[in-house]
A and B are shown apart, each in its own frame.
Chain A
Amino acid sequence: MNANVVIIGGGISGVAIAYNLAKKGMKDIVVFDDNYMTGGATGRCGAGVRQQWSSKGNCIMAKMSIDFFERAQEELEYHRDVEFKQEGYLIVATTDEEDEQFSKNVALQNEVGIPSKKLTLEEALQIVPHLNKKIVKSATFCPTDGHLNPFLMTDAYYTAAKKLGVQFFYRERVNEIVVKDGVIQKVITDHHEVLTSKVVNAAGGYSYEVGQMAGVDIPVYSENHEILVTEPIEKIQGPMVISFSKNIYCQQVPHGSFIMGRSNPNVEHNHDISSSHEFLDEMAKTAVELLPPLGQLRVIRQWGGSYNVSPDRQPILGDTDQLEGYYLACGFSGHGFMFAPMTGLLLSEIILNQPPTIDMSELHISRFKNSTHNTYEKSVV
């Protein structure tokens, strides 16, 4: 089999890249994934999409991605509802430092056109009345942030890309990338040998290993982040509520369930995605402290997923000077789902040698080698 490009990873990033390339007219695009669709990080994510970041790169990626999500249903001509809900993200400050930092974040966000604003406690309570007012000082709110169904959004890209001729092979593992004299020759999987000169690494939690397959060193690691979902109830909460200091994100999805997650500062760097009772204990305490009525909800499931983390918590996108024809879309640090439309667009532009829609130098892998990266995304859970 011959391919103009082989994409490794059929999660949201991989399908978005495949769709954008096919839309621009590229033929013979092949996607491999060793699991079922959304069996990796995409299918385990918290389903939120937000634009309230503290680094400019993330702000721009997020804003332009939301612009796409707003028209995704029509553009991808998808026959199911991707469940896009724009009821905002309410990010609460519980310390004076956060309160101060959030004013700066809002100024930066407004500068790039994101309609976020700073709220007093009273204003925040009007949006989420069941917030614990004893621990919240202030908040920021962006009304166009929201939620999407990760399974169906991925399926929408997949279905559209398939119509444009992209070939997908799920449950098929890539075992080898053959490189000779600095040129990619072929990709060998369980069932295929594909002659190609271009490979895209969109392998999420396994992007480090997929880099090593071609001798490309990527400064990323993976860590387990846990999450839970409750029984569905009638709608009581519009926006996602986040607190960085309390270490929680929590939203009610359109289906009625609450999804909530937190990070574990002591988690090891590996591919573990198991569930722990420690997470359940800590998550329950934090959720009930910040949003007391949620104590009455039954938990029906908990699971883990892989964050592929980069040194500055911003994605690594573009080509690499280590190997011609090898492209990166990894290191999203837990936010690959919400950035996917821009990941797809930018990677397709780089691969087809077109001028990129936004300046991507801040996201190129060379930022780590040259130590020019001075931003560090702090707004993460």
Chain B
Amino acid sequence: MNPNNIIICRCEDVTLQELHDVLEEGYTTFEDVKRILRIGMGPCQGNSCGLLVQREIAKVLKKPLQEVQIHKTRPLITGVKLQSIVEATKNER
């Protein structure tokens, strides 16, 4: 299948081909490709694409999967509306 037609990061609409191009340019870690392509920066925060990207990097670098770090995970775990946070802090008093 044509890598131009395979979406690897659905949140940010990044194709497999775009990922391969950036890896070829010499950006070879998840943190690097995230910064160039926005992979993992969308609403799913890498939950969907993380393992897929990790596997692609491992394949290109010819490294075992466990040696390829995925990006840092941070709060929040799920998207919360700012208004909900305001209301929750009101209820705390």
Contacts and interface: CB of A to CB of B under 8 A. Distances in A.
Interface stretch (A182-190, A235-243, A293-301, A341-349): A293-301
Contacts of B42: 232, 300
A80 B25 CA distance: 13
Contacts of B29: 36
Interface in B35-93: 35-36, 38, 41-43, 45, 74-76, 79-83, 85-86, 89
A303 B76 CA distance: 10
Interface stretch (A15-23, A106-114, A284-292, A358-366): A284-292
A152 interface: yes
B83 A295 contact: yes
Contacts of B36: 80, 151-152, 155
Given A39-B31, A287-B82, A295-B82, A302 B89 contact: no
B82 A281 contact: no
Contacts of A230: 82
A280 interface: yes
B35 A297 contact: no
B80 A295 contact: no
Contacts of A55: none
Nearest to B76: A299
A36 B36 CA distance: 12
Given A299-B76, A299-B80, A300-B76, A37 B86 contact: no
Contact of A36 (B31, B45, B86): B31
A163 interface: no
A209 B41 CA distance: 32
A298 B38 CA distance: 18
Contact of A302 (B35, B43, B75, B83): B75
Contact of B79 (A39, A275, A299): A299
B81 to A, nearest CB: 6
A193 interface: no
A71 interface: no
A294 B84 CA distance: 11
A302 B45 CA distance: 11
B80 A298 contact: yes
A210 to B, nearest CB: 22
A299 B85 contact: yes
A301 B77 CA distance: 8
Contacts of B32: 36-37
A162 B36 CA distance: 17
A38 interface: yes
Given A294-B82, A295-B83, A155 B74 contact: no
A294 B86 CA distance: 12
Contacts of A298: 43, 79-81
A298 B43 CA distance: 9
A255 interface: yes
A43 interface: yes
Nearest to A304: B74
A268 interface: no
Contact of A281 (B41, B75, B83, B85): B85
Given A36-B29, A43-B35, A152-B36, A295 B75 contact: no
Contacts of A277: 75
Contacts of B74: 275, 301-303
Interface string A30-54: 0000001111000100000000000
A122 interface: no
Interface of B: 29, 31-32, 35-36, 38, 41-43, 45, 74-76, 79-83, 85-86, 89
16 contacts: A36-B32, A80-B36, A155-B36, A277-B75, A281-B89, A284-B83, A285-B89, A288-B86, A297-B82, A298-B80, A299-B81, A299-B85, A300-B45, A300-B76, A301-B41, A301-B76
Closest 5 CB pairs of A and B: A295-B83, A298-B79, A151-B35, A284-B85, A284-B82
